[in-house]
């Protein structure tokens, strides 16, 4: 039917979603076809960014963690929103060929890994697709260009027991000590000393903590005075104190939680190196002090568990206090020696990190004559590696402890043409650009990516090439779009499997300035 002209006296036909007076009508919301708590059988047609299965119920999106493409599964809706729902996997009715048996005994409860049910080959395909989707959807780059840039994912040499750093949550509640990664969707730790991605010698630290907890509680409970009641603690002759050090805000024990030597500890952070040495940091509430006897007990138990401890640190978020040993440990990467402290950043998969840095350097095309800036330099790992192939290198980092580590690493490796600068990336880059212009800039930001002001400052310095190292495809794609709008074109995107058994993927992208 033709629409009438709308002249005076004529009749105007309404278009869908428009009212007679020209204002827009709201399109009635489509009814959600699923109900909270109800059970459904669905077929998974794709995977989401976090590796969860994605199904459709009457066109409505349902996310199903633990399900794989092509599987027919029974699920229960645990969260229903207007545009999507999340469901719990109850049963795999028809399994995909890529499904494998998870190696970890607490995989179903723990939030540390989310892809152990997926074969190694399928994980690599999923991670490549994650990068492709991010560049196309978030970066708004043409599909044909993205397919040409993105290479196959480089697999990790080790897919189990590969992590050189771990941070566990500690809980002392209701008389129960627990330590581990947190449960999926909660803040409670999964109490276990079984973790398939952490080296065995690191897991022994959990066992040592548990044995010390049991020993101290047993001694203190037996020392309680019956005449005074079980809720008052007497002195412990074995410990040599006349009081128990209490957590801030707590008095002497009405709760068995207070008997634990780990009261006031909320996390434990462990680093290890290629020599199986460990650096342990207990992250504590302000004011928490460990008795010398508790420290001695822990040290003895670590020795009994054959753990080679470089140092034990108490960290309240303001200052670190070394309880014994050293505040740093050494690691060898690609023929260079690095000292790293507890708070400083270093890639968690050392074997794959060497490949990552080799790819970044190859994409940079260094020939020994270039001036290089390394932004978000951390302890100077990539900074020093670039120093072997460049005329001069400046590393920029905002974390004071990391800069201190990096400066010592420069001295360790005798690279006097490399220097570090402490401060906000934009401020330092703007100061540097007053005196020099880089040929190559490396970017290796945290998961949140780069602030636009930092990218603008780098583009203003006009390097010929920017090499971006990212652990988050979404923020990588966003930042590449900013660089593209400032005249930088992508030529290669190389994903690497830095975090096997998880949905995370590392990616190195090379961009060049378009003249």
Q: Which residues are annotated as a binding site for S-adenosyl-L-methionine?
A: 347, 376, 397, 444
Q: How far apart are CA 359 and CA 15, in angstroms?
A: 56
For residue 282, what is the enclosing H or E element?
strand 277-284
Distances (CA, A) of 148 to 32, 261, 385: 39, 57, 28
* Residues 6 or more apart whose Cβ sits within 8 Å of residue 144: none
CB 297 within 8 A of CB 324: no
E strands in 208-276 = 265-272
Long-range contacts at 184-193 (CB < 8 A, ≥ 24 apart): 184/65, 184/109, 184/110, 184/111, 185/111, 186/111, 190/106, 190/109, 190/110, 190/111, 192/105, 192/106, 192/110
Nearest alpha carbon to residue 438 among 400, 396, 406, 473? 396
Strand-strand pairing, 60-64 and 84-94: parallel
Hey, what's the torsion of the CAs at 437, 439, 445, 451, to 10 degrees?
50
How far the first Cα of the chain sits from its last, in Å, is 54
Distances (CA, A) of 448 to 349, 397, 511: 20, 16, 20
Question: Encoding tokens for residue 377?
Answer: 């330099």
Question: b/e map of 256-280 (b: 16 or more CB within 10 Å)?
Answer: bbbbbbbbbbeebbbbbbeeebbbb
CB 465 within 8 A of CB 440: yes
Q: Active-site residues: which are they? A: 471
Using CA of residue 87, residue 91, residue 97, residue 100, what is the dihedral sign? positive
E strands in 11-164 = 39-47, 53-57, 60-64, 72-80, 84-94
Helix (H, G, I), strand (E, B) or coil at 507: strand
Numbered residues of the known binding site: 347, 376, 397, 444
């Amino acid at each position: 039917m033709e629409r009438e002209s709308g002249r005076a006296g004529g009749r105007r036909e309404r278009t869908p979603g428009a009212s007679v007076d020209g204002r827009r009508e709201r399109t009635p919301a489509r009814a959600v076809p699923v109900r909270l708590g109800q059970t459904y059988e669905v077929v998974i047609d794709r995977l989401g960014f976090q590796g969860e299965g994605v199904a459709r119920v009457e066109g409505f999106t349902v996310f199903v963690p633990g399900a794989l493409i092509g599987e027919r599964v029974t699920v229960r809706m645990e969260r229903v929103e207007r545009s999507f729902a999340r469901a719990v996997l109850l049963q795999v009715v028809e399994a995909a060929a890529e499904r494998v048996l998870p190696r970890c005994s607490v995989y179903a409860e723990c939030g540390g890994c989310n892809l152990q049910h997926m074969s190694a080959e399928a994980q690599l395909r999923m991670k490549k697709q994650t990068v492709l989707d991010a560049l196309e959807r978030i970066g708004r780059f043409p599909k044909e260009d993205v397919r040409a840039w993105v290479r196959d994912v480089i697999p990790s040499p080790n897919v189990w027991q590969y992590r050189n750093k771990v941070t566990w949550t500690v809980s002392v509640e209701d008389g129960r000590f627990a330590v581990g990664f947190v449960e999926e969707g909660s803040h409670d730790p999964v109490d276990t000393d079984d973790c398939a991605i952490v080296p065995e010698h690191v897991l022994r630290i959990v066992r040592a903590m548990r044995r010390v907890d049991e020993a101290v509680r047993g001694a203190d409970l037996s020392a309680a005075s019956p005449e005074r009641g079980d809720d008052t603690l007497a002195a412990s002759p074995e410990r040599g104190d006349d009081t128990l050090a209490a957590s801030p805000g707590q008095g002497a024990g009405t709760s068995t939680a207070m008997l634990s030597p780990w009261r006031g500890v909320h996390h434990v952070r462990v680093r290890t190196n290629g020599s199986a040495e460990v650096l342990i940091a207990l992250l504590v509430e302000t004011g928490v002090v460990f008795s010398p006897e508790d420290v001695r007990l822990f040290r003895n138990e670590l020795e009994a568990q054959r753990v080679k401890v470089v140092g034990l640190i108490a960290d309240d978020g303001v200052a670190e206090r070394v309880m014994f040993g050293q505040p740093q440990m050494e690691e060898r990467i690609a023929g260079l020696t690095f000292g790293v402290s507890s708070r400083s950043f270093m890639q968690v998969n050392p074997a794959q990190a060497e490949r990552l840095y080799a790819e970044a350097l190859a994409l940079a095309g260094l020939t020994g004559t270039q001036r290089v800036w390394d932004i978000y330099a951390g302890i100077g790992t990539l900074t020093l590696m670039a120093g072997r192939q460049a005329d001069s290198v400046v590393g920029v980092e905002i974390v004071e402890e990391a800069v201190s580590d990096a400066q010592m690493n420069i001295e360790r490796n005798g690279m006097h043409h490399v220097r570090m600068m402490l401060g906000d990336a934009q401020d330092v880059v703007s100061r540097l650009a007053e005196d020099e212009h880089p040929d190559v800039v490396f970017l290796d930001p945290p998961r949140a990516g780069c602030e636009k002001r930092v990218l603008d400052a780098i583009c203003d310095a006009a390097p010929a090439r920017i090499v971006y190292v990212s652990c988050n495809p979404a923020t990588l794609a966003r930042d590449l779009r900013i660089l593209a709008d400032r005249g930088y074109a992508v030529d290669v995107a190389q994903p690497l499997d830095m975090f096997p058994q998880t949905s995370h993927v590392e990616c190195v992208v090379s961009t060049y300035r378009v003249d």
